[in-house]
Amino acid sequence: MRMTRAIGRYWLAAYALLFMLFLYLPVLLISVFAFNNSAVPAFPLAGFTTKWFGTLAGTVPIHQAAWNSLKVALFTAAMSTVLGICVARAATRYAFRGKQMIKGVIMAPLILPEIIVAVSLLIMMLRLGLELSLVTVAAGHVLFCLPYSISVLVAGFDGFDRSLEEASTDLGETAFGTFWRVTLPMMMPSIISSLLVAFTVSFDEFILAFFLGGTSPTLPVYMFAQLRFAAKLPAVLALGTVILVVSILLLIVAETYRHRAERRVKFEGN
Amino acid sequence: MSQPGTIVINPSAPVRQRAERNDDERKGLTLISAPFFYALILLAFPVLSVVAHSFWTQNYLTIDYSFTLENYRVALTEPLYQQLLLRSLRISLTVGIATVMLAYPMAYFISFYGGKRKGLLLFLVTLPFWTSYLLRILSWKIILGRQGALNTALMSAGIIDEPIASLIYNSNAVIVTLAHCWVAFAILPIFVTLEKIDRLLLEAATDLGDGPLLRFLRIILPLSATGIVSALLIVMIPTVGDYVTPRLVGGSEGIMIANAIQSQFGRASNWPLGAALSVVTMASVALMSGLVVVVIRALVRLAR
């Protein structure tokens, strides 16, 4: 009995390792070829170079696209976190009719095929006579990132102890004072985590930006357009490496804050 | 407030509870109204307008608003669209099943043997899912290409002499790429249901003489069926409408319904037909999801 369990465990651990390789190797290859001294991504490797990164610095459209992405992602992160706080607070603190239905509508972009969301928004915006721009992209991104923000925030708000707020009110704080001095500080880690996650999702999002961006490309849209030119591939890979590194760093920070949020609520709440 | 002689009665508990509930209701609805209206205006109304467009007709630059089912006739009977729709459904079902099979042992490992590192392992597994979707697809274009990483690696290792052409530009390439993109997402719901399984049940089964295999088939697998169903659905539904993967690695043999939808809104400029194709896609993936749920429930009943 114990023998078979030990063997099962051994196989599972081996599988887990292979799984991680399958998950990470393809992404890692992008960075490997970004440093490869050859215009085509192929083996054997042709030696180390950083020249592809050098071309990034000198390409003005990339800076423009990066600036576009940054503006959209900053706005999206702020908006989806503010709206997400409302939803997470309402969902974890109050019982009200229609809660599941309302949550269902708000969370729907998470599982709808993205092309459907993009096409619907495109039709509506053009019908309303809106000009496609970064504003329309950001409007779509807030919708798309909101479910992610909510998931992060609900995890942090869940288990929040009401009696702390009641104590603050009993001790004479106003409703706003209680929110500002008790509720908000407790929720800060998950709020920061939501900001970072929404920023990353928006920064990396392609379909909505592609459909709703008009003539203002974000970074992913710019990269997609460059894929038509084989000669531009190494520069795209270098750009991709930069984006990957930035995304992963942001996500690690977000995770640290999320973790801290959960611990803090559990520790101080109970 | 209380005059001498009157008795102050505390509001009875049910009354107070009702008042509190009403208060909760008002506060909750007020809080959630802003995001709800945002989602209504930017999601519900647009989706309804897609449905409306699907019953109209494109007349060059203007739209004829008289009701017609012509777009649905074209969407459902034109061989090209039939083929694309069936292929998209087949690809998304295959990807769903593949991701669940790949994700299950990993979720199992984390849940049963993760120990103190559960959180870290989950984070590592889901991390790639959060990074750029375009880049993950691009990495498969680089791996599978005719002069790509896999072919050139195998050739320089002397395993093959000629590059294998069939790696890329077909539906298998799309399936591999999508499975890689979505597998991390499938782990979460499976992991959550595995975590909920009472470990005492497993000990009981062992005490009653079930071996590891029987125990897995009769207890763990049926109890995690809801996780399997959610994992299948959250992978199948989005992948049926994937646009970038078929564009980058699908070639003409691997293009999917989303590519046809996009071209109706781009070059072909026939919004009503594009809208009808979108509605048909949503309806058929909903139908397929329903069937999957029914089949899995039946299997669970059989296992018990």
Contact status, residue A209 vs residue A220, Cβ threshold 8 Å: yes
B290 vs A: CB within 8 A: no
Low-confidence residues of chain A: pLDDT under 70: 1-6, 159, 264-270
Q: Which pair of tokens denotes residue B78?
A: 């034109």
How close A17 gets to chain B, by Cα (Å)?
9
Asked whether B232 and B295 are in contact (CB, 8 A), the reply is no
Backbone angles phi, psi at A228, to 5 degrees: -70, -25
DSSP state of B10: P
First to last CA, chain B: 65
Q: What is the pLDDT of residue B38?
A: 96
d(CA B90, CA B175): 10
Say what the pLDDT of residue A216 is: 92
A44 touches chain B (CB under 8 A): yes
Interface membership of B295 toward A (CB under 8 Å): no
pLDDT tens column, A29-82: 999 999 998 888 888 888 899 999 998 888 899 999 999 999 999 999 999 999
CB atoms within 10 A of CB B278: 29
Q: Of chain B residues 161-190, which have a CB less than 8 A from chain A?
A: 180, 183-184
Percentage above 70 pLDDT, chain A: 95
pLDDT at A121: 96
Average pLDDT in chain B: 89
Neighbours of B248 (CB within 10 A): 21
- Burial per residue of B112-138, b for 16 or more beta-carbon CB atoms within 10 angstroms, e otherwise: bebeeeeeebbbbbbbbbbbbbbbbbb
Query: Which positions 94-113 of B are in contact with A (Cβ < 8 Å)?
Result: 102, 105-106, 108-110, 113
Instruction: Give the nearest partner residue to A206 out of B32, B134, B285, using CB atoms.
Output: B134
Q: Test B43 with A240 for CB contact under 8 angstroms.
A: no
B206 Cβ contact list (under 8 Å, min separation 6): A1, B215
Residue B98 has pLDDT above 70, yes or no: yes
**Residues forming beta bridges with residue A36, ordered by sequence position:** A48
Instruction: Work out the angle at residue A163's Cα, subtended by the Cα atoms of residues A158 and A167, and round it to the nearest 5 degrees.
Output: 140
Write down the pLDDT at residue B211.
80
Taking only the tens place, the pLDDT of each residue in B116-169 is: 889 899 999 988 888 888 999 999 999 999 888 999 999 988 899 888 988 999
Q: Which of A146, A113, A257 is CA-nearest to residue A193? A: A257
Q: How far is CA A244 from CA A204, A251, B131, B136, B196, in A?
A: 9, 10, 6, 10, 34
Shortest alpha-carbon distance between residue B43 and chain A (Å): 7
Alpha-helix residue ranges (DSSP H) falling in chain B: 13-39, 45-53, 70-77, 79-113, 118-130, 133-144, 149-156, 171-196, 199-207, 212-215, 221-223, 225-240, 244-245, 257-265, 271-303
Judged against a pLDDT cut of 70, whether residue B262 lies above it is answered with: yes
**B88, B132, B156: which to substitute to probe chain A, counting the most A Cβ within 10 Å?**
B132
Q: Is the CB of B149 less than 8 angstroms away from the CB of A29?
A: yes
Question: A144 to chain B nearest CA, in Å?
Answer: 10
Bond before A217 cis per omega within 30 degrees: no
A 240-269 → B contacts, CB under 8 A: 240, 243-244, 247-248, 251, 255, 259
| Cβ A33 vs Cβ A187: under 8 Å | no
Q: The pTM is what?
A: 0.89
Q: How far apart are CA B289 and CA B295, in angstroms?
A: 10
Specify the 3-state DSSP secondary structure of A77.
helix
Cα–Cα dist B249/B245, whole Å: 6
Choose among B130, B147, B282: nearest Cβ to A40: B147
CA atoms within 13 A of residue B297's CA, in its CB half-sphere: 6
Q: What is the ipTM of this complex?
A: 0.88
Q: Give strand pairing partners of B59.
A: B62
CB contacts under 8 A, A 45-104 vs B, are 83-84, 86-87, 89-91, 93-99, 102
Tell me the H-state helices in B197-270.
199-207, 212-215, 221-223, 225-240, 244-245, 257-265
In chain B, what residues touch A23 (CB-CB under 8 Å)? 125, 128, 180, 183-184
